[in-house]
Structure 1
Amino acid sequence: MKKKELSSDSYAQMVPAVEQACKILIFLAKESGARPRLTDICKEVGIHNSKGYSILNTLMRFGLIQKETLSKTYSLGPGLAYLGSKAMEGMDLGAVVEPFLKALSNETGETSLFGMLSGEQVFIISKQEGSQPIGVNIALGHRFHMTAGAHGKAIVSALGPKQREEVLSRKKLYFYGDPLRFQKRRFEREMREIKKRGFAEDRGDLQHGINAVSSAVMGPSGNVVGSVILIGTFPEKEIARFGPLVAHTAKKISSQLSFGLNAS
Structure 2
Amino acid sequence: MAGDGTIGKACDVLDQVAAFERPVRFGELLESSDFPKATLYRFLQSLTNQRMLSYDPERQTYTPGMRLVRLAHAAWTQSSLAPIARPFLDALSRETGETVHLAQLDSSQVLYVDKRNATQPVEMYSQAGKVGPAYCTGVGKAMMAFLDEETLAKALSQQSFHRFTDKTLTSEQALRADLSLIRSRGYAIDDEEHEPGIICIACPVLTSGGRMLGAISVTGSTERMDFEQLETWIPRVRRVAEQIGIEAQAWRFPETRQNASNDRM
TM over 0.5: yes
Measure the CA separation in 2 of the matches of 1:238 and 1:203: 13
Residue matched to 1:216 = 204
- RMSD, aligned CA: 3.2
Is residue 257 of structure 1 aligned with residue 248 of structure 2?
yes
**Greater Cα offset, 200-209 or 254-263:** 254-263
Query: CA-to-partner distance for each residue in 1:206-245, whole Å, 9 max, x for gaps?
Result: 1111101112223588543321121121322223212332
Counterparts of 1:147-158 in structure 2, within 5 Å, are 147-158=135-146
Query: CA-to-partner distance for each residue in 1:29-83, whole Å, 9 max, x for gaps?
Result: xxxxxxxxxxxxxxxxxxxxxxxxxxxxxxxxxxxxxxxxxxxxxxxxxxxxxxx
Verify the 8 A CA contact 1:123 1:141 in the aligned structure 2.
yes
Higher Cα radius of gyration:
1
Q: 1:92/1:188 Cα in 2 relative to 1: closer, same or farther (>3 Å)?
A: closer
> Shift in Å at residue 253 of structure 1?
0.6
Counterparts of 1:61-140 in structure 2, within 5 Å, are 90=78, 93-131=81-119, 133-136=120-123, 138-140=126-128
Which of 223, 232, 235 matches 1:241? 232
> Shift in Å at residue 129 of structure 1?
2.1
Verify the 8 A CA contact 2:99 2:121 in the aligned structure 1.
no
**Greater Cα offset, 249-258 or 213-222:** 213-222
Verify the 8 A CA contact 1:147 1:174 in the aligned structure 2.
no
Q: 1:121/1:180 Cα in 2 relative to 1: closer, same or farther (>3 Å)?
A: closer
Verify the 8 A CA contact 1:202 1:213 in the aligned structure 2.
yes
Measure the CA separation in 1 of the matches of 2:127 and 2:176: 31
Extract unaligned runs of 5+ from structure 1: 1-87
Extract unaligned runs of 5+ from structure 2: 1-75, 252-259
**Greater Cα offset, 222-231 or 190-199:** 222-231
- What TM-score, normalized to structure 1? 0.56
Verify the 8 A CA contact 1:201 1:239 in the aligned structure 2.
no
Verify the 8 A CA contact 1:220 1:259 in the aligned structure 2.
no
Report the number of matched residues: 175
Verify the 8 A CA contact 2:189 2:199 in the aligned structure 1.
yes
Verify the 8 A CA contact 2:186 2:203 in the aligned structure 1.
yes
